[in-house]
Amino acid sequence: MSNELLKSDVTAEALIAKAQRDGVETMWDRKAAQKTQCGFGEAGVCCRICAMGPCRVSPVPGKGAERGICGANAGTIVARNFVRMIAGGASAHSDHARDIVHAMHLASAEGPFKIRDEAKMRRIAAEWGIEAADTKETYALAHELAEMALEEFGKPFGTQRFLTRAPQQRQDIWKRERMEPRAIDQEITTIMHSTHIGCASDIDSLLNRGMRASLGDGWGGSMIGTEFSDILYGTPKACASESNLGVIDAEMVNIVLHGHDPNLAEVVVVASKNPELLELAKSLGAKGINVVGMCCTGNEVTMRHGIKIAGNFYQQELAIITGAIEAVIVDVQCIFPALPALAKKYHTHFVSTSQKAKIAGDMYIEFSESDALNCAYGIVKTAVENFANRDASKVEIPNFKEPTIAGYSVETIIDHLDKVVNSQLEDKLGTVKPLSDVIYAGVIRGAAGVVGCNNPKTEHDLGHVTVIKELIKRDVIVVVTGCAAQAAAKVGLLTLEAKELCGRGLKEVCERVNIPPVLHMGSCVDCSRILDLVSRVAVEKGVDICDLPVVGSAPEWMSEKAVSIASYVVASGINTYLGIIPQVLGSVEFTELLNEGVRANVGAVYVFEKDPLVAVEKMMVDIEEKRTALGI
């Protein structure tokens, strides 16, 4: 059987056929079993925040029930549901970040949690105003900085420290709109409060509070997650890797790392190199231990260690169906609860490790940062021992993989830009000036961040790949994170050779700077790197972010985290193009607010466009309008 949602995936057809032969169920079977999804939920007009409900109101104004029992109309219900999605997303990113900072608080010279980018730590300590940031003893400073970062989640007064990275104009807008996020957890809590029965009903106010919480994610939780991960695990540098299910190796012990939190993934990578475990693997007839990544935890270890990318969100089941996976090790976020049952159909061990995401059905080995290496050793050992149980007759690995270059942190991008700076000019090193110059000169027309998930409402990866290819063809440089980055990786867009697919200007830039036209900037929390980069360009040119010819795009988004990301990108002044329409169409007013009204507040809007080609045309009009306004 071929699945029409998988037409553009070269690995899918054989594996879906195998799934049928093996009698296992996949997300596409479950999607079909859902039949037609509920129109009230789809329109966002179903409310079940109290026990008087569930209420559903008519998505068509003037027809049917116009108010819920409490009197909430479609606008209120849609807005509450939407900002609760933001809260869900912001909480996921922020809790992720909190774990990273906790690990840093545990850091010691003996490890396993060490300070690996001391310069970055001192830079951020100075940015946050710690005295003697450049001379204090490393771990004393680490612990002080970690404590300060933990305060960001629940401090009683003040706003997020990283906000000052934004251009002054943007900070002024946030102040005017009362959108400066205070403590991260507070913003999430206050959304849950405002959306309780009988609280806020004003859609402008609800969205405003939602955006504030999302800013607490982008410029708070996610940014802390990224920056502190870099301090602990090293700031990513350009590195070679490979992508797609073909990286699974029939002759090795295959471990899939899936989830988000690098705390676990990093120590698993260390344990997979343990000589005793390698010896054990060999004694069982394996050539070695092959750790491959999936989703964002995959991105984290790809960015820092070049760990191969097995696939993105929708491929998590396909990986197991290859029959060659000894263990899927997961932590938190975007892990199908369907995986344990699927794993049991094969010899695969499904190991959930986080108390926050205990997934019933197979193994649970709790990961504790205080005993990290032993934990990881135990988990990897379980995987290695499981090699003996593999049934070679059930193994079928698609022979598809593409070379990939990842590791483009802001620091690495700037390092590359430094190489084209003429040392005789006044230009300083360590800035984004060469990038802002080529944008202003029109060598490249603009920049786009393409991010987000996969969604069975649309053909998998097609939206990502189409948007990216069409943009680079039009001389728009693309930065990618998350599953969008992995979609690009799987079709070979993250290579130097991909410059041949670009317009003349972007091709020149790629050649001179020696970069691919599509830059993998990391996981979903690493969308904060994009905020940082865009802010630097805006500050360099003395304009606000909303003045720059820059767009955001989430062609196949799915999660609440994506809603939070889209919201903080819009609130930061960047028009954001959504390929999946959020569940808001039941309220004309709220839809209008997202698509147009919010422009008056933050200078950017959410654009809904399902067709990736049409979306790209709209983005280009947007980019050219920004250029005209700037006179460039």
Partner 1 sequence: MSLTELIYAGSNAVAGLTEGAVKDAIEKHGEGHVVGFPDTAYFLPVIYAATGVKIKKLGDLPAAVAILKSLITNKDDLGDALNAGLATAVGAEIIEALRYVEGDPYADDSGIGFVPDPVIRSLGVPLVTGDIPGIAVLLGESADPASLAAIVKDYQEKGLLTFMVGNIIEQAQASGVKMGLDYRVIPLGHEVTSVIHVVSVAIRAALIFGAVEPGKLGDFLTYTKERVPAFINTFGPLDEVVVSVGAGAIALGFPVIADTVVPEVAGALMTQADHAKTVETSLEARSIKIKVTKIDVPVSVASAFEGERVRKDT
Binds partner 1 by CB under 8 A, chosen from 50, 420, 496, 581: 420
Residues making up the binding site for [4Fe-4S] cluster: 38, 46-47, 50, 55, 70
Nearer to partner 1, 236 or 434 (CB): 434
CA distance 497 to 29: 38
- 3-class DSSP state for residue 182? coil
Phi, psi dihedrals of residue 447, rounded to the nearest 5°:
-135, 150
Q: How far is CA 457 from CA 294, 577, 579, 621, in A?
A: 21, 16, 10, 27
Smallest separation (angstroms) from partner 1 to the CB of 126 = 28
CA 154, chain centre distance (Å) = 24
Shortest distance in whole angstroms from residue 475 CB to partner 1 = 6
Give the shortest CB-434-to-partner 1 separation in angstroms.
4
Among 89, 306, 434, 517, binds partner 1 (CB under 8 A): 434
CB of 443 to partner 1, least distance (A): 5
Closest to partner 1 by CB, 433 vs 561, is 433
CB 159 within 8 A of CB 180: yes
DSSP character string of 201-270: --HHHHHHHHHHHHHHIIIIIHHHHHHHHHHHH-----EEEEESGGGS-TTSEEEEEESS-HHHHHHHHH
Q: How many residues bind partner 1 (CB under 8 A)?
A: 27
Q: Is 203 exposed, middle or buried (0-12, 13-18, 19+ CB in 10 A)?
A: buried
Nearest approach in angstroms of CB 632 to partner 1 is 5
> Binding partner 1 by CB under 8 A: which of 151, 508, 540, 547?
508
Residues 509-548 that bind partner 1 (CB under 8 A): 512
Residue 627 touches partner 1, criterion: CB under 8 A:
yes
Residue 423 found at the interface with partner 1 (CB under 8 A):
yes
Name the residue nearer to partner 1 (CB basis): 444 or 489: 444
Task: Specify the stretch interacting with partner 1 by CB under 8 A; choose among 15-23, 205-213, 315-323, 438-446.
Answer: 438-446
Given candidates 88, 378, 403, 503, which one binds partner 1 under the rule CB under 8 A?
A: 503
Q: Which amino acid is at 318?
A: L
Contact (CB, 8 A) for 408 and 447: no
Quote the least distance from Cβ 477 to partner 1, whole Å.
13
- Which one of 222-230, 331-339, 430-438, 595-603 is the stretch in contact with partner 1 (CB under 8 A)? 430-438
Nearer to partner 1, 258 or 445 (CB): 445
Verify binding: residue 134, partner 1, rule CB under 8 A: no
For partner 1, the binding residue among 192, 284, 395, 421 (CB under 8 A) is 421
Which residue, 438 or 569, has its beta carbon nearer to partner 1?
Answer: 438
Query: 501-525 in b/e burial notation, b at 16+ Cβ within 10 A?
Result: bbbebbbbbbeebebbbbbbbbbbb
Whole-angstrom Cα distance, residue 490 to residue 160?
37
d(CA 97, CA 229): 8
Site string for partner 1, 399-418 (x = CB under 8 A): ------------------x-
Q: How far is the CB of 472 from partner 1 (least distance, A)?
A: 13
The answer to whether 203 touches 593, Cβ cutoff 8 Å, is yes
Residue 428 within binding range of partner 1, rule CB under 8 A: no
> Which CB, 182 or 474, lies closer to partner 1?
474
Beta strand pairing call for 55-56 and 239-243:
unpaired
Residue 438 engages partner 1 in binding (rule: CB under 8 A): yes
**Per-residue mark of binding to partner 1, 439-468 (x: CB under 8 A):** -xxxxxx-----------------------
Q: Which amino acid is located at 373 in the chain? A: L
Of 18-57, binders to partner 1 (CB under 8 A) are none
Write out the binding residues for partner 1, residues 468-487 only, by CB under 8 A. 475
Identify which of residues 172 and 624 has a Cβ nearer to partner 1 in the complex.
624
CB closer to partner 1, 475 vs 622: 475
**What minimum distance in Å lies between the beta carbon of 24 and partner 1?**
50
Q: Which two tokens stand for residue 483?
A: 């599953």
Buried b / exposed e over 65-100, threshold 16 CB at 10 Å, is eeebebebbbbbbbbbbbbbbbbbbbbbbbbbbbbb
The residue within the footprint of partner 1, chosen from 437, 540, 589, 617 (CB under 8 A), is 437
| Residue number, 154 or 442, with CB nearest to partner 1 | 442
| CB of residue 421 to partner 1, shortest distance in Å | 6
Nearer Cβ to partner 1 (22/437): 437
CB of 447 to partner 1, least distance (A): 15
- Angstrom CA distances, 169 to 163, 538, 541, 543, stand at 12, 10, 12, 7
Greatest CA separation for the chain: 73
DSSP bridge partners of 292: 256, 308
By the 8 A CB rule, do 448 and 475 touch?
no
Q: Between the CA of residue 435 and those of 367, 382, 431, 522, 534, what are the distances in Å?
A: 42, 48, 9, 20, 10
Give the C-alpha separation, 611 to 604, whole Å. Answer: 21
- As a whole number of angstroms, the distance between CA 190 and CA 201 comes to 14
- Least distance in angstroms from the C-beta of 123 to partner 1: 24
Annotated binding site for [Ni-4Fe-4S] cluster: 260, 296, 334, 453, 483, 524
Tokens read off for 33: 């079993």
Choice between 7 and 627, CB closer to partner 1: 627
Q: Return the DSSP state at 550.
A: E
Q: Least distance to partner 1 from the beta carbon of 409, Å?
A: 20
Q: Does the protein bind partner 1 through residue 500 (CB under 8 A)?
A: no
Chain residues in the site for partner 1 (CB under 8 A)? 417, 420-425, 433-434, 437-438, 440-445, 475, 503-505, 508, 512, 624, 627, 631-632
